[in-house]
Amino acid sequence: MRLVPLLMASLLLTATVMLWPSTNGGGGLLAWVNVSLMLLMALLLVQYGIRLLRETGEPAPGSRLRAKLVIALVTMLLVPAMVIQMAASQMVDKGMDVWFDVRVDTLLDRALNLAQGFYERVEKDMKRNLLDYISDAALLAAVTGNMDYRTSNVYLTEMSKSEGWQKVEIFDVNERQIGGVQAGELTALQASPLNSTARLAMRLGRVVTELVMHKNGEVAVGYAPLVGPVSVLGLLRVEVRLPAGVIQNARSVEADYRNYRQLERNRQTIRSTFTHVMLFVTLVVVLLAGVVALLFARRLTAPVGELAEALHRITEGDLDVEIAHSPRDELGSLGRSFNTMANRLKQNVEAIEQAQLDLTNALDSSRQRQYVLESLLANLHSGVVLIDSEHRVRLLNQAVRDILQLPKEWVPSADFAELSLGNMHDIGDFYDELRHQEEDYLQREFDMALSEGRTLHVLARGARLSASGTAFSGYLLVIDDISELAEAQKNKAWAEVARRLAHEIKNPLTPIKLSAERLQRRFRKQVDNEQVFDVCTKAIIDQTERLQRLISDFSTLARMPQPKLREVPVNTLLSDMYELFHSYRRISVKIVEDERALCQCDPDQVRQVLINLMDNAVSATNETCAIRVYAVVSDAFAEWHVEDDGDGIDAENATKLFEAYYSTKSDGSGLGLAIAKRIAEDHGGDLKLLSFAGPTHFCLKLPRHVQEKEAT
């Protein structure tokens, strides 16, 4: 529908190009008027079509019906008008073919030849008769003065009667009239002067004729020079009056012939003029019909548009709409019915709104309590799970998802059996124990192994909700993550043990070590078996040093100093590792490309962590395994990576590496990685085992800019 105006415009433009006036074509001003009207109509159609294409929303109510009515009415008028114009054009073409038939051309040519033959015959007879008088002696005597005037006139009278001339005049060489007679009329007192044709006849010495139109009709005039022995002596002028009917018919034939030839030359012009006249009438009628159709369509579709607009307003919720003006016809009846429907609908909506208001007031207190409960559960750090008597999950707050690291898209099913899968398995066991025991309350602490390899220490509490009339019955589970609390208690306990153990053992170790060294230096030569003596004293010294290192680690764990933060180049710590371990050819240290990369940290503590990681890598691999040390710097973090191609770490031991006093080495204290992780956390970062086999990969990740309150 939107492309119809553009298609009609293209047809009009095509017709305009075909009918464009040419320089030699017919039509004239009317052709340009038709072209202008067609271009105007095409422009209006193009403008209307572009406006339709630009409309992105719903068109105005009734506009499509109005456009269809206008197009239908104009088409109903345009098609017969075009048929009539084509038929009229064909009739004109056929008529002009008949008008300009070959037989008509032949008749006109014959009539023209007949008129021309009459003139030629009169001229030939006059010339032949005049040639007999060129050298006439009487005429020469009259011209030379040898004949008196009366005698010459008598001779001229006889000549006129014998030849049938109506007028005869004689002139001398000076163009003076010597004599002259005129049949049936008196001779003029003064002869008309000679014209250029007469002078030409005297000068050339030849007989000349011409046709002259007088007031009494058309006459044939002949001029004959009177030639003497030596030169021309005078001129004889005669006139013959042509028959009036014949002359008039001959002139009419000539005029009709000229008109016919002119019409024949303008044949195409006549056809074009007729075509453009018909086209002009058609265009004017179409324009008038379009205007009338538009006015009629607007009057007809206005009630429809008002009704559609009113329906649209009702769909948007405006129930006060009303169709004000309704004609006294079917559309008016429809408008009045619509007003009645809108009024009833408004009354029904008002009744529904009043009922809804009453219901809202009745449920207001219940909604407030529900809102308070939902807000409390949403902001509660403890996880809450509510299960009904049919083991369906009725409530699960966000804290449960955060504690158990459940995905956001995970939705609990109706049955708690599915809820007990994955990270919820231990919670499901706790629920089964609560459900099958006699008591209404249960509390347990247990460790949960999450899917990411992380262990979570959980405090779970459960209570049975007994049924009371129509009240809810089921089970309420409250889950708390106490991992940090348990870890803090454990660290506090170990710190207290380390403090007391260090106090009790540290003092005797130094005398024991000094005594063993003194015995080794003084009595080594006096014993019977030096080898046994060396082994025993060396064992005392080594174990004493081991105890001193253990006490030092205890003291470090118990009184971990706060990091002293300052800007340290990342490459400086890498260079320190290279200086300390460059003797091991299997160790490669890669320097960061950005030499100005800085990190805010305590360099001594970070260096202690890196040395611990390097020592572990060296001790856990043989000479054929490569060890790689490098750093990765981003805008927010600096990462130090230590990789080795050794045998790796067992999956069971990988989860306990950072626990205090856990070690896989026989002579290890189990405090190195625990202290290293504590240093990383004090810096606001983390120490992670990214891969425990192929290769073994540790990563120390620290923020490049630590807030002052985090460092204190």
pLDDT at 278 over 80: no
Residue 571 one-letter amino acid: N
pLDDT category at 701 given cuts 50, 70, 90 is very high
Tell me the per-residue pLDDT of 130-171, one tens digit each, with 9 for 90 and over: 888 888 888 888 888 778 878 888 888 888 888 888 888 888
Sign of CA dihedral 155, 158, 163, 165: positive
Asked whether the predicted pLDDT for residue 304 surpasses 80, the reply is no
pLDDT at 711 over 60: no
Average pLDDT, the chain: 76
Residue with the bigger pLDDT between 575 and 90: it is: 575
In this prediction, residues 354-362 reach a mean pLDDT of 79
Q: Which residue did the predictor score with more confidence, 427 or 637?
A: 637
pLDDT band at 273 (very low <50, low <70, confident <90, very high): confident
- The pLDDT of residue 672 is 79
pLDDT at 11 over 60: yes
Read off the pLDDT of residues 73-128 as tens digits, 9 standing for 90 and up.
667 666 776 777 677 766 766 666 655 554 555 655 666 666 666 777 778 888 88
Is a pLDDT exceeding 60 seen at residue 422?
A: no
Banded model confidence at residue 279, pLDDT cuts 50, 70, 90: confident
**pLDDT at 710 (0 to 100):** 41
Closest CA to 702 of 590, 605, 595: 605
pLDDT band, residue 709 (cuts 50/70/90): very low
Average pLDDT over residues 609-635: 90
**Of 122-131, 356-365, 584-593, minimum mean pLDDT range:** 356-365
pLDDT at 403: 78
Residue 513 pLDDT level (bands cut at 50, 70, 90): confident
Render the burial of 449-487: b for 16+ CB within 10 Å, e for the rest. Answer: eeeeeeebbbbbbbebbeeeeeeeebbbbbbbbebeeee
> pLDDT-derived band of residue 627, with 50, 70 and 90 as boundaries?
very high
pLDDT of residue 283: 74
Q: Is the pLDDT of residue 451 over 70?
A: no
What are the CA-CA distances from residue 446 to residues 277, 351, 450 (Å)? 106, 59, 13
pLDDT tens digits for range 518-534: 777 777 777 777 787 77
Tell me the percentage of the chain whose pLDDT exceeds 70: 68
Q: Give the tokens for residue 346.
A: 């408004």
pLDDT at 331 over 70: no
pLDDT at 23: 57
Confidence category of residue 601, pLDDT binned at 50, 70, 90: very high
Tokens of 631: 């750093």
Cβ atoms < 10 Å from Cβ of 155: 20
SS3 content of the chain, % helix, strand, coil (to 5): 55, 15, 25
pLDDT of residue 643: 93
User: What average pLDDT does the segment 614-631 reach?
Assistant: 89
Is residue 470 predicted with pLDDT exceeding 80?
no
State the Cα–Cα distance between residues 222 and 167, nearest whole angstrom. 10
Ranges 51-65, 250-264, 394-408, 589-603, most confident: 589-603
